[in-house]
């Protein structure tokens, strides 16, 4: 029997969700492409040297600025194309000029139209640590992330049972990467902390409806222990919302659509980064 919540959230909500369909596709693809453990280990060992993702966020937060994880995102299953033809290297360079602390790159092909090539292109154009933003459901996914150059991996608590979460979190750290453990409420936060998560993302987007609940991150922030790097995700549409989240205790924000759509991405990143200064004025 699996520990934790069911992987198929439709069992709870009564209908299939975006996450249900994505996870089913990823688990099926993983089963169809099963590879020998030694092949996975060799591939990940050949990845480029790791850039410290969590360390970079902590260093920026220590200066009093809000660390910005700027995302390279072509498409959303709920909103359609954002910038289907973007050049990940150009976008990443813009983000670095604006002072982004780290990058996040979508690598899911079917639902977000990303790719490992997008990650490699973005990472190669900058000196910034990069998060592989994808639906990690197996050890193979973790090894693939390291092989393609990821410095951090996203682990979504709602997508994994307790045993999977613990196993994958440990593997990420063993390979020298950081794990951004994503939660949506206090119960998921407790599960993340139980496996030793020291980098926690709180997603304001509801996994059943994909609607953004702007009060979610503020509520959950109160339960995040000191010493844990807190990242707010989704629904951050400018400096005002970034400042609100900084005031709630977040060290970093992960922002995609707002930055990708901006006519001046570097300036948009800089505005988010400096948002907490408005709290002191």
State the pLDDT at residue 30: 67
Q: What CA–CA distance (Å, rounded) separates 157 from 164?
A: 9
pLDDT surpasses 50 at 7 = no
User: What average pLDDT does range 253-281 have in this prediction?
Assistant: 89
Contact 172, 155 (CB under 8 A): yes
3-class SS of residue 1: coil
Catalytic residue among 44, 104, 138, 234: 234
Question: For 171-228, how does the pLDDT look when each residue is reduced to its tens digit (9 = 90+)?
Answer: 999 999 999 999 999 999 999 999 999 999 999 987 767 778 888 889 999 999 999 9
- Residues of the chain with pLDDT > 90: what percent? 72
Catalytic residue among 73, 104, 164, 241: 73
DSSP string, 83-123: -TT--HHHHHHHHHHTT-SEEEEE--STTT---HHHHHHHH
Note the Cα 132 to chain centre separation in Å: 7
Lowest-confidence region among 78-87, 122-131, 164-173: 78-87
State the pLDDT at residue 62: 92
State the pLDDT at residue 277: 73
Residue-range domains of the chain with CATH: 10-280 (3.20.20.70)
State the pLDDT at residue 31: 66
Strand partners, 212: 205
Question: For 99-120, how does the pLDDT look when each residue is reduced to its tens digit (9 = 90+)?
Answer: 999 999 999 988 899 999 999 9
Q: Is 8 a catalytic residue?
A: no
Q: Is 79 a catalytic residue?
A: no
- Which of these, 98, 53, 52, lies nearest to 260 by C-alpha position? 98
Q: Is 167 a catalytic residue?
A: no
The angle subtended at Cα 66 by Cα 212 and Cα 208, nearest 5°, is 15
State the pLDDT at residue 9: 38
- Residues of the chain with pLDDT > 70: what percent? 90
What lies within 8 Å, CB to CB, of 73 at 6+ separation is: 82, 83, 106, 112, 114, 133, 256, 257, 260
Question: For 246-265, how does the pLDDT look when each residue is reduced to its tens digit (9 = 90+)?
Answer: 999 999 999 999 999 999 99
pLDDT surpasses 60 at 8 = no
Mean pLDDT of the residues in the chain: 89
Phi, psi of 113 (to 5 degrees): 60, 25
Catalytic residue among 65, 96, 188, 233: 233
pLDDT surpasses 50 at 6 = no
Catalytic residue among 133, 164, 188, 241: 133
State the pLDDT at residue 103: 98
User: What average pLDDT does range 29-37 have in this prediction?
Assistant: 70
What are the tokens at 62?
């220590």
Contact 278, 95 (CB under 8 A): no
Catalytic residue among 164, 182, 188, 218: 182
C-alpha radius of gyration, the chain, whole number: 17
């Amino acid at each position: 029997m699996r520990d934790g919540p069911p992987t198929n959230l439709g069992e709870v909500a009564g209908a299939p969700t975006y996450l249900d369909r994505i996870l089913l596709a990823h688990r099926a693809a993983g089963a169809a492409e099963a590879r020998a453990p030694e092949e996975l280990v060799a591939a990940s060992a050949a990845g480029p040297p790791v850039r410290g993702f969590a360390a970079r966020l902590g260093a920026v937060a220590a200066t009093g600025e809000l660390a910005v994880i700027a995302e390279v995102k072509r498409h959303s299953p709920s909103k359609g194309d954002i910038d289907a033809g973007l050049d990940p290297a150009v976008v990443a360079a813009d983000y670095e000029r604006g002072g982004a602390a780290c990058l996040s790159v979508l690598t899911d092909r079917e639902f977000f139209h990303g790719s490992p090539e997008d990650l490699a292109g973005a990472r190669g154009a900058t000196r910034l640590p990069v998060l592989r933003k994808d639906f990690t459901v197996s050890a193979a996914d973790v090894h693939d992330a390291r092989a393609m150059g990821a410095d951090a991996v996203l682990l979504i608590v709602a997508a994994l049972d307790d045993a999977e979460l613990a196993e994958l979190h440990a593997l990420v750290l063993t390979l020298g990467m950081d794990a951004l453990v994503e939660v949506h409420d206090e119960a998921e936060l407790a599960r993340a902390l139980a496996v030793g998560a020291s980098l926690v993302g709180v997603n304001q987007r509801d996994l059943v409806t994909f609607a953004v609940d702007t009060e979610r991150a503020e509520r959950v922030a109160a339960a995040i222990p000191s010493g844990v790097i807190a990242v707010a995700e989704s629904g951050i549409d400018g400096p005002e919302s970034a400042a609100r989240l900084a005031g709630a205790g977040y060290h970093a924000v992960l922002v995609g659509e707002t930055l990708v759509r901006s006519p001046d991405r570097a300036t948009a990143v800089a505005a988010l980064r400096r948002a907490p200064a408005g709290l002191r004025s």
